[in-house]
Amino acid sequence: MEHHEILTGIEMDIEPYPDEMFEIAAQREAENKALESLGIEYGDFEGEDDVDYQAPNGDYIKSYPLINRVEVIGKNGREFVQYDCSNVQVSEQDEGRTLKVFLS
């Protein structure tokens, strides 16, 4: 624990931010980017742990908070692999013709 002296001369104990807070911030940032792609404000979902939403135009977004690895497999095998994902979101857009994956 670190001690910092404030200008008034009072000493206070300051704890470092826990890793969990950074993970939550990264998850919210990923959710915000995914929602922005649908033209939706993140504030509409404040307080929700996961974002599952279908916009009026049919675009859909789903969170997968437990997934920690994403692979894209093409006709020649693995084309993309991302490890250590903290939050994965998938957005189906354009009446089912576009699939976007948001990683953080």
**pTM of the entire structure?**
0.54
Of the listed ranges 7-16, 61-70, 73-82, the one predicted with least confidence? 7-16
Q: Is the pLDDT of residue 104 over 50?
A: yes
pLDDT in tens, 14-72: 555 677 777 777 777 777 777 777 677 666 655 455 567 777 777 788 888 889 999 99
**Is residue 50 within 8 Å of 63, Cβ to Cβ?**
yes
Domain assignments of the chain as residue spans, ordered by start:
2-103
On whether the CB atoms of residues 76 and 94 are closer than 8 A, the answer is: no
Tell me the C-alpha to C-alpha distance, in Å, between residue 82 and each of 47, 65, 73: 28, 15, 12
